[in-house]
Amino acid sequence: MHSTSGAKSAHDPALDDFRIDREPYYRSVGHEVALFQAAYGARMPVMLKGPTGCGKTRFVEHMAWRLKRPLVTVSCHEDMTASDLVGRYLLDADGTVWHDGPLTLAVRSGAICYLDEIVEARQDTTVVIHSLTDDRRILPLEKKNEVLKAHPDFQLVISYNPGYQSVLKDLKESTKQRFAAIAFTYPDAAIEAEIVASEAGVERPVAETLVRIAQRSRNLKGHGLEEGASTRMLINAGQLVAGGIALDQACEVALVLPITDDTDMRDALTAAIAACL
Amino acid sequence: MTAEHKTVRAMHPGETIRSAFPGDLYESWDDVCRRLAGAGYGNVVTDSYLRHSPELARLASPQAAIVLATIVSGLAIRAGRRAAAVAPVAAIVAAKRYNDAASLQEWLRLIEQVGDQAPESAGALLDQTASLTARLDVHALASWIRIGLRSNNGEPERRLRFFTLEDPNARRWLLRESGEVGFLDLEARLKPYLTALWGETPPMRETPANAPEQARRRPGFDGSVVRLPAAYPGFSGSDSEKLYRAAVAHIGAHLKFSHERFPVGGLKPAQIALVSLIEDARVEHLAMRELPGLARLFTPFHAAEPSGTATAPGLFARLARALADPGYDDPDPWVQKGRRAFFEAEADWASQQISRRIGDLLGNDLGQMRVQFDPKNYVVQPPYRDDNLGLWDFGDDDQQQSSEAEQVLSSARIREELDDSRPPDRTETEMGDAGGCVELIEQAQDGVLVARYPEYDYVAAREQPEWTSVKEYAPKAVASGPAARLVEEHADLVARVKALIRSARVSRAERLRRQPEGEFLDMDACIEAMVARRIGEAPDHRLHGRYERRSRDLSVLLLLDISQSTAEKVRGSTRTVLDVERQSAALLARAMAGLGDPFAIAAFCSDKRDDVRYVRIKDFNQTYDDLVDARLDGLESGLSTRIGAAMRHAGADLACERSYRRLLLVVTDGEPSDIDIEDRQYLVEDARKAVHHLNLFGIDTFCVGLDSNADSYLGRIFGQRNAITIAAVERLTDLLPKLYLTLSR
């Protein structure tokens, strides 16, 4: 309502699809919920760091639900241009018509904008968020010759996996320093088992075995595997077990084959899994 | 001729030889002997043939003995006198092993073939006759030799490594040909298996062939390395694999749960063996709490059964089984007592002391039962268990123990390459052919003058033509040095670089916009064109976009400074600067080989202007393999840093490469200097001139300085943008590949 030209109501029907009605399951492992709430209170941009499949996206969904904000998610990729984020002129029968990009949509209407895997985007694309993430909180739409002031409810969240690609693809220092960061890792064994049991619908002992197996493959991180099995993979394996597949087979399908193409590594993993059963 | 003939006769009384060469064959033999003696191969060769050929004739056939003469002669000409002198001895060994005529004939043909095609390796091959013929039948030997001849790109040095079995590939092929499944086959799987089970673990090594018998039959460990037998003879392929897995899992359990070493103190050998046995069972049970599936792996190897006579090894094996296999019942009261004591202590399994206590107890009982224990011939059962040396603290002997262990573990010691092949009787110089290669090597040890380069005198502001002499020195190869250990010591770095390479490769496809043709419409260009049309301007017709792979076209020469200062220890570390250089170079080489960029590695140092030493470690057309690592490890620090001359020489090499970009990457640890130059400015200015000159020829230069004070002069030489200095030398390993990827983008 404080936004400039073309300000739309926060109950913009265009945003209905972005609202989260039911509580997404999220098992808090530390203070991250309180941290995020405080950051949102200050409308501080937040960066979620952590390996793939450890619950970053789920956490954002959960927080959006808790804060009752719509969530606009953008999966970044290396071909993404600034206009893919901000918007562009399109043509219709009468002439050109401006079309908001997802970021502009969120800025205008006060949603949480979640840029997933931001490092994948090119650096010249990521700089468009700079003016939104300092005290200006504006988004210049230069093609439209408009400066869009951010809706007071708007918040920017990015996720970022500080993995191996981070040398060639790293955030600019000037980008990084605008964010508060919450680090995610795989939860402790007991909590992770609880998550797996709940999400996959398997018995607790099965979930515990799956977590022990995951530990084996996480031991191999940096020794042939880029990442160990994530919580998400464990849930997949658990779901297969719940669907009547034998545990060893489920592990092979959900934990071993997806993670590596190297036959020796696969062999070692399968043997290590056999040792857990 | 007649004089020679007489010696022949004098040395071998006619009758014995006549019996070996019946009929006309004697004349033929006599004839070949005379030819050998007359050819001037030297007495060693002739004597050897004279002495051994009759025995070969008796063992195999006179014909074979006569054919051998031709082979000996061929070897003497091509492979040198030593190989020729060894051949008859080796032939007897082969004849004893291959007792049918066809096999021996084939063996002789193989030797002849190697003498022709790989003369430098013939001696090495003949030296190994006993072990090779024991493991391989003649067809398998033939195919192994064929692999050796074919797989080494016709490079003599590589072939020699193959036939001396220094090349792990040679050993791997040997295993394959012999049908055994050994450590080398499984290494790639066992390492991740151990890591997966237990997290960070020490590197694995094959127990070298020169280790004592007991050490070769069982695995072992100490804090720094896990040692596994080269093979478990007598086990089938799949059993071997299980056995190795069990061995690795068992050692992992020790590493995890055996925290301290037991002091040997005054314990008797039987007690040591028993404490070890209980400790084995203890760590296995603890491991199985976490990894219950290990039981399926371990239990099948416990095969001990109650037997009539109670011997110590038999009882020990039964006790081991009783502790591991819940389904096993043993009638022996001693075994039962051990089992009871062990499982009653279940609550205390976390403590290592229970092993000591129960072991002592059982040892005393054993003494009272008057069962003899023979430590010399005792081998731990079942075979997957380790020799338990790693569990014990031998007190004063520890130093010696560990140095012995070191000896055992550093497999394949440095062999002064080629030195062995030098014939002992070097005074006889009439042997042109065979002596040729030896002389060449000697020359290489002194350095071969390959080029002279000008040097720039900034005071006179002119170049002194032909002022420096660059001599190339042959690289030495040293096995299992820092470069070769790179993967073990820095597995994380290697993996990271691998990932970097992958992303550097895949992210090469670039999206080109505003193209006159292409596979998709460039949305922005389309809209602009439509807008332009509506306002009545002529629209831009470049509306398309396409993906294009940017091709890498880059050659790199990595030039390492190995002057005396690189022998210094890196601060806070036991490694020298050169060690860090070696590992960095090895890591970078992996990266470059992974990207498929042509690259070369060389090292330099200098001893005044007439001896700028240049060592080629890898040329552009060579493949990167462990020989390159071995050569990196063979580098030695020494002398000074006359960097300008070395760069000119490296640049001359690079200039022959036909790629779009050519990059000279220099790693140096100090200011250019040499003992014949006092003016510190002089060599800096010369190097600067050399860089300018290279740049003129389109060769880029970049320098990494390992000296925090190097900024000033490196900037002067290479330009501020083309030099960086790193204060923490250790970081070089990490930094070099990244730097390379950034430079090559």
Res B419: pLDDT? 36
List the single range of A99-103, A192-196, B52-56 with lowest mean pLDDT.
Answer: B52-56
Verify whether the Cβ–Cβ distance A90 to B527 is below 8 Å: yes
Q: Is A166 on the interface with B (CB under 8 A)?
A: no
Q: Please tell me which residue of chain A has the smallest CA distance to B504.
A: A168
Region label for B423, one of left (φ > 0), alpha (ψ between -120 and 50) or beta (otherwise):
beta
Output the average pLDDT for chain A.
87
Q: What values do phi and psi take at B232, rounded to 5? A: -105, 95
Instruction: Provide the pLDDT for residue B4.
Output: 47
Q: State the nearest Cα–Cα gap between B186 and chain A, in angstroms.
A: 9
Number of H helices, E strands in chain B: 31, 16
Query: What pLDDT, on a 0 to 100 scale, did the predictor assign at position B238?
Result: 78
Tell me how many degrees the CA angle A252-A254-A258 measures, rounded to the nearest 5: 90
State pLDDT tens for residues B176-218: 777 677 787 788 888 889 989 888 778 888 877 667 777 778 8
Q: What is the mean pLDDT of residues A240-263?
A: 92
User: Minimum mean pLDDT among A6-15, B35-44, B565-574: which range?
Assistant: A6-15
Nearest chain A Cα distance for residue B499, angstroms: 6
Instruction: Give me the pLDDT at residue A139, please.
Output: 94
Residue B5 has pLDDT above 70, yes or no: no
First and final CA of chain A: distance in angstroms?
59
Sequence-distant (≥ 6) Cβ neighbours of residue B516 within 8 angstroms: B541, B542, B544
Please state which CATH number belongs to domain B486-502+552-743. Answer: 3.40.50.410
- Lowest model confidence (mean pLDDT) among A31-35, B14-18, B376-380, B441-445: B441-445
Interface check for A79 against chain B (CB to CB < 8 A): the answer is yes
> Which residues from chain A sit within 8 angstroms of residue B492, using beta carbons?
222-223
Q: How far is CA B296 from CA B247, B249, B326, in A?
A: 13, 12, 12
For B529-571, the DSSP string reads HHHHHHTTPPPP---EEEEEEPPP-EEEEEEEE-SGGGGSBPT
Q: Does A134 touch chain B (CB under 8 A)?
A: no
3-state secondary structure of B259: coil
Q: Picking from A260-274, B278-292, B386-400, which range would have the lowest pLDDT averaged per residue? A: B386-400
Tell me, what's the pLDDT at A4?
43
Q: What is the pLDDT of residue B550?
A: 64
- Find, in chain A, the residue whose alpha carbon is nearest to that of B290: A276
Residue of A209, A218, A223, A251 for testing the chain B interface, max B β-carbons within 10 Å: A223
Q: Across residues A40-59, what is the average pLDDT?
A: 92
> Which residues touch A5 (CB under 8 Å, ≥6 apart)?
A146, A148
A87 dihedral zone (left: phi>0; alpha: psi -120 to 50; beta): left
DSSP 8-state symbol, A111 = P
pLDDT at A111 over 90: yes
pLDDT score of A165: 52
Taking the C-alpha atoms of residue A274 and residue A43, their distance in angstroms, rounded to an integer, is 49
What is the model's pTM? 0.66
A93 interfacial to chain B (CB closer than 8 Å):
no
Tens-place pLDDT, residues B58-99: 888 888 888 888 888 888 888 888 888 888 888 888 888 887
Has residue B444 got a pLDDT over 70?
A: no
Q: Model confidence over A48-57: pLDDT tens digits? A: 998 888 899 9
Question: Which band of pLDDT confidence, cut at 50, 70 and 90, is reported for residue A8?
Answer: very low
Q: A123 at the B interface (CB within 8 A)?
A: no
Residue of B44 and B18 predicted with greater confidence: B44
pLDDT at B121 over 80: yes
Which pLDDT score is estimated for B549? Answer: 66
Q: Which residue of B has its CA nearest to A220?
A: B196
Q: Burial, B5: exposed, middle or buried (Cβ in 10 Å; 0-12, 13-18, 19+)? A: middle
Asked whether residue B654 carries a pLDDT value surpassing 90, the answer given is no
Tell me the domain boundaries of chain B.
3-178, 264-413, 486-502+552-743, 510-548
Per-residue pLDDT for B716 more than 60? Answer: yes
Q: Please list, residue by residue across A202-223, b when 16 or more beta carbons sit within 10 angstroms of its beta carbon and e when fewer do.
A: beeebbbbbbbbbbbbbbbbbb
B101-127 burial, b at 16+ Cβ within 10 Å, e below that, comes to eebbbbbbebbbbbbebbbbbbbbbbb
On whether any CB of chain B is under 8 Å from the CB of A276, the answer is yes
At residue B621, the pLDDT reads: 83
pLDDT over 70 (residue B133): yes
Tokens linked to B544: 């398309």
At residue B81, the pLDDT reads: 85
Residues B192, A277: C-beta atoms closer than 8 Å:
no
Distance CA B734, CA B496 (A): 9
| Residues A234-259, mean pLDDT to the nearest whole number | 93
Residue linked to tokens 């980008």: A175
CB–CB contact A219 B195 (8 Å): yes
Q: Using CB atoms within 10 A of its CB, is residue A52 exposed (0-12), middle (13-18) or buried (19+)?
A: middle
Q: Looking at beta carbons, which residues of chain B come within 8 Å of A79? A: 511
Indicate yes or no: CB of B527 within 8 angstroms of CB of A265: no
